[in-house]
Amino acid sequence: MHSPIIILHATDASELAQELQNMLLDEEIFSLTIQETLLQGPLSIPELVASSSGVIIVLSKLLFEDTICSVIAQHALNVQKGACVQMKTVTDVPKWVEKPFNLEIGEMTEVNWGFLMTKLRSFLNFNELKTEPLWQE
Rounded CA gap, 133 and 137, in Å? 10
Rounded CA gap, 117 and 125, in Å? 12
> 31-33 and 54-58 as β-strands: parallel, antiparallel, unpaired?
unpaired
Confidence of residue 131 (pLDDT cuts 50, 70, 90): low
pLDDT of residue 133: 57
Q: Could you tell me the residue ranges of all domains in the chain?
A: 5-131
The pTM of the full predicted model, rounded to 2 decimals, is: 0.89
Q: What is the mean pLDDT of residues 106-121?
A: 91
Q: What is the mean pLDDT of residues 25-44?
A: 89
Cα of 94 vs its chain's centroid, Å: 17
What is the CATH topology of the domain spanning 5-131?
Rossmann fold (3.40.50)
Mean of the per-residue pLDDT values of the chain: 89
Q: Strand runs (DSSP E) across 1-137, as ranges?
A: 5-8, 31-33, 54-58, 82-86, 101-102
How many other β-carbons are positioned within 10 Å of the β-carbon of residue 88?
13
Amino acid at 120: L
